[in-house]
Amino acid sequence: DQQVKQNSPSLSVQEGRISILNCDYTNSMFDYFLWYKKYPAEGPTFLISISSIKDKNEDGRFTVFLNKSAKHLSLHIVPSQPGDSAVYFCASEGAQKLVFGQGTRLTINP
Amino acid sequence: AAGVIQSPRHLIKEKRETATLKCYPIPRHDTVYWYQQGPGQDPQFLISFYEKMQSDKGSIPDRFSAQQFSDYHSELNMSSLELGDSALYFCASSLAGGVGNTIYFGEGSWLTVV
């Protein structure tokens, strides 16, 4: 039972445009959501998070949106830069459980 | 700022050998998580500890054990290693006690079983 799903395994975006990565979850006990960026052979790096009491959190080029009724969150990166190319994982947290999605490989084309 | 420290960063072992990975959480963090990520696979949760007690258990094989010590560092012990144990093992730490505890990950330990 995949509690956190990232349905797009890969995404290709032109440099300077907006990248939108999506994530769906099923467990209503999740109350905190995080996005991580991962390069090969490294541990995930925390990017941005959002609590279930908010619907938007912004940090520089990164914005996370949460739609609780749809159990959906998204990460917007604008403008996209070549250094953003990596695998992005969303994660949902609740009751000391952290569940990852499958990841989306983002490629930013110059 | 201090991050999550894992050692060793790389380890090569033969089948049926034993390996121990160490994780030093961010100071004052009381919760440690262990994850395994095989080549081309999602991170898989293995086990977590809160205040030196096991708090949750995931897909950790019986050949593996782990514990959290009084200084909050954690060790993952893997015995009777198999080729399929070759993976990146990373640990994470957080400070429990409420909503929104950001979890920080270490750089990972690469285990290669030959």
The enclosing domain of B54 has a CATH number of: 2.60.40.10
Q: Which residue has the higher pLDDT, B79 or B37?
A: B79
A31 vs chain B: nearest CA distance in angstroms?
7
- Are the beta carbons of B99 and A51 separated by less than 8 Å? yes
Residue A15 has what pLDDT?
97
Which residues, 6+ apart, have CB-to-CB distance to B4 below 8 Å? Answer: A43, B23, B24, B25, B26, B91, B92, B93, B104, B105, B106, B107
> Residue B11: which domain range?
5-113
List residues in chain A touching B: CB distance below 8 A. 31-32, 34, 36, 41-46, 49, 51-52, 89, 91, 93, 96-103
What Å distances lie between residue A71 and A9, A14, A97, B98, CA to CA?
19, 28, 17, 21
For the stretch A35-78, pLDDT in tens is: 999 877 666 788 998 989 999 999 999 999 999 999 999 999 99
DSSP code, position A69: T
DSSP readout, B31-70?
EEEEEEE-TT---EEEEEEETTEEEEE-S--TTEEEEE-T
Please, what are the domains in chain A? 4-109 (2.60.40.10)
Interface test with B, best of A96, A100, A105 (most B CBs within 10 A): A96
In chain B, how many domains are there?
Answer: 1
